[in-house]
Amino acid sequence: MNDQSITIREAQQKVDEWIKKIGVRYFNELTNMAVLTEEVGEVARIISRQYGEQSFKKKEKDKHLEDELADVLFVVICLANQTGVDLTKAFEKNMEKKSKRDKKRHKGNKKLSSKN
């Protein structure tokens, strides 16, 4: 494994190449939505045990947050690819929207500035 970063666009291309070479074809959008939900559930399970009040079961010890987050990212990229979404453009547009909308919102939120 190398330490080279890749762009979002390159990630979309890598996933598309993998699907065509190894995955045969994309699952349909509805199936991928179900897979995404399943993967997010696996992330939630790890977070609830690692940072919450639940404990790991013996069979869950080999589950790693980074792997499950990567699974979520993979499926999000699959959905973007098959629906024609350029995630680079979408992300940039979304960050711009958030920056304008939330410019003062979070700094003025007393719940965020208070330490619990």
113 is a domain residue: no
Name the amino acid, one letter, at 3: D
* Residue 23 included in any domain: yes
Q: First CA to last CA across the chain, in angstroms?
A: 40
Secondary structure letter of residue 96 according to DSSP: H
Residues in contact with 74: Cβ distance below 8 Å, sequence separation at least 6, in sequence order: 15
Token pair for 50: 């690692």
Q: Give the pLDDT confidence of 76-103 residue by residue, as tens digits.
A: 999 999 999 999 999 999 999 999 988 7
pLDDT in tens, 9-58: 999 999 999 999 999 999 999 999 999 999 999 999 999 999 988 888 77
Q: What is the CATH number of the domain that holds 76?
A: 1.10.287.1080
Band of residue 116 on the pLDDT scale cut at 50, 70, 90: low
Contact indicator for 80, 19 with CB cutoff of 8 Å: no
Domain-embedded: residue 1: no
* pTM confidence score: 0.84
For residues 35 and 10, give the distance between their C-alpha atoms in angstroms, rounded to a whole number.
22
Residue 56 domain boundaries:
8-106
Residue 112 lies in a domain: no
